[in-house]
Structure 1
Amino acid sequence: MTEQENYLLDPVRRKTTIRSLVRYAMHEKRAIFLGLFLLILAVGAELTGPYIAKIIIDEHIVAIEKDWVEVESGGTVSYDGRRFAKSQDVPKSAIIGPISIVQSKAGYYFVPEQVVSGGERQVAGDTLTVTRGEETFRYAGVEKLTQGQVYDFYASDLKAIGWLSLFYIILLLIAAGLNWVQQILLQRSAHKIVKRMRLDVFSHLQRLPVRYFDQTPIGKIVSRVTNDTETIRDLYLGVLARVFSGIITMAGILVAMFFLDVRLGLVSLAIIPIVYFWIQLFQKLATENNFKVRALVADMNGQLNENIQTMPIIQSYAREAEVLAEFEQKNEENYQTRAKLLRLDALMSHNLSYFLKNLTLALLIWVVAGQSLTNGTFLSLGILYAYIDYVSRLFEPVTQIMNQLSPLQQALVSADRMFQLLDEKGEPVEQGRIPRFAGRVEFKDVGFSYEEGYPVLRQIEIEARPGATIALVGHTGSGKSSIMNLLMRFYDPSSGQLLIDGQDVTTLPKQAVRDHMGIVLQDPFLFTGTIRSNITLDNPLISEERVRQAIVAVGADRFIDRLPRGLDEPVIEKGATLSAGERQLISFARALAFDPAILVLDEATASVDSETEAMIQEALLTLTKGRTTFIIAHRLSTIKDADEIIVLDHGQIMERGTHDVLLSEKGIYAKMYALQSKRNLELKSS
């Protein structure tokens, strides 16, 4: 079963990922909770708008048709020598009788009695006819109002409309300010969370054993530290803010609908299961493709990293077309997968959201408004307007949430991949330190396997006294590098014991062991910086004098002193502006500046010319004094002076002794030496 299938079928794994994301978010909980509280206030201020509009419509625009009464004195409107007011503004004792102001196609009319609500209205002469379903109502004594008279009846409401409109504008400004502040808070929190997350990932990478890096492509690791954390940043920065905003807006709208009319609120609750199943369906269809996209991006990063590092080989063997075809296959698969997600988004988000919204509005107008106009079960125009507004607003956050489901799934998949990396068992950087080793190294019946059941070392017995030089030779795959990996504590023996100064290294802190070791690899790596920083690795304990002594000891001063800036000469990635020999000399100086008790030279002279090799050999005769030195060498001429030469074959020690002793035995070593000597003579003669 693939990693993708495991994630899709494992709800516990998804929950664990979400819990881990929440745990990181809790580091900024104060800012996040404050931002969400401000978001609630902003949403509340914005959602007040339709209710204010409802008040304006019901109480100040269409209210001209309701609740007017003739009064004995006072009132707010004078018409035909009589005084009129809204019933709620005067005591019942002052009321003479109800009247109505009715609007029809021809204008506004004064009716000397109360008129039924709803229905179809027609005015003929001084008679108003209202037809409502099968019922017909007639009212006599109707008088048409002039524009000035209509204004008189509206005058008290126009001022209220102005104040309510101003109040709404102020609320919008407050909502804008609250949204600005909450966005700043949430965005700042998102950046801090991802900053912490990247630091944790990078810190954890440094604690992972070498085994992990041997088994995992570097491009995939880089993808998790960069691309995946960037996707998670988008999750905190935009996705969650929009999802929370959408949920809060939906909740606020539903509350507002209940506040308008309980029946409408109950009808609106039917939307919740629809949205829920809609989201579940989308997640089911989108998760698999989102996981595949992240995996393909990681694969492309891995191939890109590999191709860049091996570009000279690719070009030398004219493999550009094949490499391009391989990359194009992954690129095309990534494109097709993203196209599926695009089609899914187009179908499930905007289009479906607009369809449901329009369907809801159509049903509302048909059922509620139609019944109100024909049967007299009146729903005020203000409530109808506000409800339509809220329904339109309700589907905006639904669409907003749907648009974030795909990024949300991508972020969860990226988070799952990143937390898998963080869950890899690391090696804590121990703070404990031990005194400098004397340098006695013993391998006692050591066996080792990278994979269980496939041993690469068997019954290794080595004893190196302090200050001795031990050389390891053998064909490729004989186990030389594996011994060095055990010595440097990159791996631990599968069986037997590795002792330093009589202490089992597995009982000592790894970093404490490495403090007293130095290593020079066959392919030296230089970091971006300066020659000085590559020698000291920014260790403040290494003085300028020690740096100088190290470069002089290995002969690196001969080229460093010729550089324009000397030790402060810039070094680009991998030291590409320096020759292989110069890079190797700097790596020698680095090892010596740290003054190790045990020195490991892994094919250290394989990349240098004969003149540089002779210079290094001369320096090593002095520098290895007082240090236990292990040398892996293919050039057997460089290890003639070793105290002991160990010949390995298929993970076992086949021969051991000094150079002269092994030659006299005429075994494997003697044959290897003779073969190399013959080859060297042929090269010199040619």
Structure 2
Amino acid sequence: MSNIHEEEAIGKAYDYRLMKRLLQYAKPYRLLIILTITLLMIITVLDLAGPYLIKIAIDDHINAISDPMVAFEPGKANKEGVLFQGKEFVRERNLTEEKVDHLPRYQIIEEKNQYYLIEGFIAKNQPYQWIEENGQLILTQNGKTYPTKALTDEDLRIFRQKDISSLYKIGAIFFGFLVLGFILNYIQTYLLQYTGQKIIFNMRQEIFSHIQTLPLSFFDKNPVGRLVTRVTNDTETLNDMYSNVLVNLFKDVFILIGIIIVMLQLNIKLALVSFIALPLIILSSTVYKKLARDAFRIVRTRLARINATLNENLSGMRVVHIFKREKQQFEQFDQINTSHYEANMKELKTAAIFRPSMDFIYSISLTFLLWVGGKNVIQGAVEFGVLYAFIDYIRRFFQPINDLTEKYTIMQSAMASSERIFQLLDQKDSIPNPSTPIHLDKIKGKIEFNHVWFAYQDEDWVLRDVNFTIKPGEMVAFVGATGAGKSSIINLLGRFYDIQKGAIKIDGVDIRQMDKFELRKQIGVVLQDVFLFAGDINSNIRLNNPDITDEEIKQVANYVNAHHFIEKLPNQYHEEVKERGSTLSQGQRQLLAFARTLAFDPSILILDEATANIDTETELLIQDALNKLIKGRTTIVVAHRLSTIQHADKIIVLHKGKIREMGTHQELLAQGGLYYNLYQLQYKEDFEQQKKKHR
């Protein structure tokens, strides 16, 4: 894997393999997801019931005053009707299962703000006339006459009483649906967000845990900023997918299917008219998908460049200030930022075209619906409530389609992020543990390098046929020029890398046959650049090991001469430590590193340039701490300052990956070889520095 999949490489907008793998993370919460989807179905039904209830209110009650009625003898009707002048009037639309052809029909007609009860039924889409005979109004249509009776306000109130009562009931049901929908929406949203957060929580835990198992060679090739992006930004993108797309996609499907079913049930002709825009919707969505993908890819590429430039400039701000490069770096960032802005504008233009185009298609659909539906309403073929419901449903039909832009962007990001996350999770540990490791209760400290060959890449050998043995309790120093292979020996001993040839043994056991985590517990390493975590003094010595008590921390700190500066701090052992220990001096950080190492009581101690760049006073404290620290332990020292290793039991001189000399300080000086030359060069430099100080 190269750089955990470059930011520029964007995956498919939808990848079945990736989605199948993403769904595995949702599997433990499948019951919650099923419950959420069920709630969404109920919520969808409640949402779609609103226009239908209004349609019933309009057609069956508000505009139903002129519907034909059948007159029954009181108590003879199967449906409850309106008692008026000794008859019970029931609207014919409510008597679909009864045979009433033999019964008289009546109708209420409005004329100049006056309502009349007529005997018979007239067609609304045909003209009719009013004539007066013997002081009574009679209605005629197509040569047929209909007796009429003027209704008083009280009479009209009797006929409208059931309508008013029904409207109250419909209003109560509508309000109840709204309240129930609000409650279910709250529960559904909470469950959905809870599920999404738990999935992302588990995913972050898995990624972080996996990163901790990867070898150091992995981190040599992959920038820290990119790994941080995997754990934070990419997982958050997936959270958007789980929370805003995955389940809500079901809601969109339910809404679309539900609207289609309701429309077809209400009026097939108007439904087909409403669906006339579907080909335009499909065409626009296809074009948008292609344009948006291209625009999105460019934005991601430019954003990656911004992140890389920011990380580089902020990390190297000291160098920028020293060399007065502010203007040049700003110009560089301005150029990259401008390209990102232009890419964003291109993406926004694509989205800006899609939404208005959907609005335009919606307007076309609405125009056709009003044209055909309005004409049918005027002709009496369609009720006004049905037309109103269609107008409301077609508006709701376009809502999930308009949300396509946001959902598509989230899906694009999710697929790209999931691909990079899985690339990281699929990265195998190149230094596996043996299936049946050899356990050593306590390492004595004998170290053997037998014909060791090692290269970080291919056959670019850093160590060549290295052989040496370190006895338990010995102090051995490695010296040599930069790149000679000193630090590589330390990394190999802790099995942070594996050798290509030869064998490394501790107490006679090949370290590849040992559990690498148990091995590392037995090795304490103090580096030149001490890393301290944000927290306090206590936590940086304990490193989350609950077995180390506060009293033991004070003992080891006192033992390595760290206690004298800790007790001067305002909060002593609870003093806050900033990131990387920026508030402490190099020497103080070094003493804390000694205390940390001693607290874990390792059998093998490694000091990698541990006394470099330290002032003379602090160096005396460190040397005293060092002498205490190495007692009873096998100690390996890597040092440039030869004055600090003169008392080593053995000094090994490395040059270009090979051991050139080996012996004590005096023996190597007597040989007059590489070590002698290094010593003379360093002594001369120290001598010249002393002369300058005395001038």
Fold agreement, TM-score > 0.5: yes
- Report the counterpart of residue 114 of structure 1 in structure 2: 121
The residue matched to 1:526 in structure 2 has which SS?
coil
Q: How far apart are 1:153 and its partner, in Å?
A: 4.1
* Aligned: 1:54 with 2:59: no
* Count of paired positions: 673
Correspondence list, 1:378-457, <5 A: 378-426=381-429, 434-457=440-463
| Cα contact 1:71–1:95 (8 A) shared by 2 | no
Q: Give deviations 1:144-199, integer Å, cap 9, x for gaps.
A: 95673555543432322222222222122111111111112112222222222222
- Report the counterpart of residue 678 of structure 1 in structure 2: 684
Task: Assess, with a 3 A threshold, how the Cα gap between structure 1 residues 408 and 144 changes in structure 2: closer, same or farther.
Answer: farther
Task: Assess, with a 3 A threshold, how the Cα gap between structure 1 residues 256 and 334 changes in structure 2: closer, same or farther.
Answer: same
Q: How far apart are 1:604 and its partner, in Å?
A: 0.8
Question: Which of 555, 558, 561 matches 2:567?
Answer: 561
TM-score, structure 1 as length reference: 0.88
Q: How far apart are 1:265 and its partner, in Å?
A: 4.8
* Aligned: 1:603 with 2:609: yes
| Cα contact 2:193–2:243 (8 A) shared by 1 | yes
- Report the counterpart of residue 362 of structure 1 in structure 2: 367
The residue matched to 2:466 in structure 1 has which SS?
strand
Q: How far apart are 1:271 and its partner, in Å?
A: 6.1
Correspondence list, 1:245-324, <5 A: 245-265=251-271, 275=281, 278-294=284-300, 296-297=302-303, 299-324=305-330
When structure 1 is superposed on structure 2, of 517-526 and 534-543 the one drifting more is 534-543
Q: How far apart are 1:125 and its partner, in Å?
A: 4.9
The residue matched to 2:442 in structure 1 has which SS?
coil
Q: Give deviations 1:249-303, integer Å, cap 9, x for gaps.
A: 2222222223323455566666666555554543433344445545554554454
The residue matched to 1:8 in structure 2 has which SS?
coil
Q: Give deviations 1:379-410, integer Å, cap 9, x for gaps.
A: 33232222222111111222234433223322
What CA distance in whole angstroms lies between the structure 2 residues aligned with 1:608 and 1:267?
A: 85
- Report the counterpart of residue 657 of structure 1 in structure 2: 663
| Cα contact 1:286–1:341 (8 A) shared by 2 | yes
| Cα contact 1:218–1:302 (8 A) shared by 2 | no
State the percentage of identical aligned residues.
Answer: 38
* Aligned: 1:76 with 2:78: no
What CA distance in whole angstroms lies between the structure 2 residues aligned with 1:340 and 1:242?
A: 27
When structure 1 is superposed on structure 2, of 267-276 and 663-672 the one drifting more is 267-276
What CA distance in whole angstroms lies between the structure 1 residues aligned with 2:626 and 2:92?
A: 110
Q: How far apart are 1:464 and its partner, in Å?
A: 1.4
| Cα contact 1:35–1:185 (8 A) shared by 2 | yes
Q: Which amino acid aligns with 1:379?
A: V
| Cα contact 1:289–1:341 (8 A) shared by 2 | yes
Task: Assess, with a 3 A threshold, how the Cα gap between structure 1 residues 529 and 354 changes in structure 2: closer, same or farther.
Answer: same
| Cα contact 2:255–2:397 (8 A) shared by 1 | yes
Q: How far apart are 1:518 and its partner, in Å?
A: 0.5
When structure 1 is superposed on structure 2, of 500-509 and 237-246 the one drifting more is 237-246
Q: Give deviations 1:25-82, integer Å, cap 9, x for gaps.
A: 2222222221221221122112112222222223223333333345577873648x98
Q: How far apart are 1:229 and its partner, in Å?
A: 2.1
- Report the counterpart of residue 344 of structure 1 in structure 2: 350
* Aligned: 1:522 with 2:528: yes
What CA distance in whole angstroms lies between the structure 2 residues aligned with 1:604 and 1:89?
A: 96
Gaps of 5+ in 2: 76-80, 133-137
What CA distance in whole angstroms lies between the structure 2 residues aligned with 1:544 and 1:390?
A: 69
Task: Assess, with a 3 A threshold, how the Cα gap between structure 1 residues 223 and 329 changes in structure 2: closer, same or farther.
Answer: farther
| Cα contact 1:4–1:292 (8 A) shared by 2 | no
- Report the counterpart of residue 135 of structure 2 in structure 1: none
Task: Assess, with a 3 A threshold, how the Cα gap between structure 1 residues 6 and 319 changes in structure 2: closer, same or farther.
Answer: closer
| Cα contact 1:197–1:229 (8 A) shared by 2 | yes
What CA distance in whole angstroms lies between the structure 2 residues aligned with 1:17 and 1:54?
A: 45
| Cα contact 1:524–1:584 (8 A) shared by 2 | yes
- Report the counterpart of residue 133 of structure 1 in structure 2: none
| Cα contact 2:48–2:259 (8 A) shared by 1 | yes
Task: Assess, with a 3 A threshold, how the Cα gap between structure 1 residues 538 and 360 changes in structure 2: closer, same or farther.
Answer: same
| Cα contact 1:109–1:142 (8 A) shared by 2 | no
Correspondence list, 1:626-637, <5 A: 626-637=632-643
Q: Give deviations 1:392-444, integer Å, cap 9, x for gaps.
A: 11112222344332233223322332232222224789997532211111122
What CA distance in whole angstroms lies between the structure 1 residues aligned with 2:318 and 2:100?
A: 104
Q: How far apart are 1:475 and its partner, in Å?
A: 1.9
- Report the counterpart of residue 204 of structure 1 in structure 2: 210
- Report the counterpart of residue 493 of structure 1 in structure 2: 499
* Aligned: 1:8 with 2:14: no
TM-score, structure 2 as length reference: 0.87
Task: Assess, with a 3 A threshold, how the Cα gap between structure 1 residues 266 and 592 changes in structure 2: closer, same or farther.
Answer: same
- Report the counterpart of residue 35 of structure 1 in structure 2: 36
Q: How far apart are 1:646 and its partner, in Å?
A: 2.3
What CA distance in whole angstroms lies between the structure 2 residues aligned with 1:683 and 1:175?
A: 83
Q: Give deviations 1:191-234, integer Å, cap 9, x for gaps.
A: 22222222222212211211121111111111222222222223
- Report the counterpart of residue 78 of structure 2 in structure 1: none
| Cα contact 2:651–2:662 (8 A) shared by 1 | yes
Task: Assess, with a 3 A threshold, how the Cα gap between structure 1 residues 279 and 601 changes in structure 2: closer, same or farther.
Answer: farther
- Report the counterpart of residue 182 of structure 1 in structure 2: 188
What CA distance in whole angstroms lies between the structure 2 residues aligned with 1:105 and 1:410?
A: 65
What CA distance in whole angstroms lies between the structure 2 residues aligned with 1:236 and 1:303?
A: 31
Q: Which amino acid aligns with 2:11?
A: L
Q: Which amino acid aligns with 1:404?
A: K
* Aligned: 1:63 with 2:64: yes
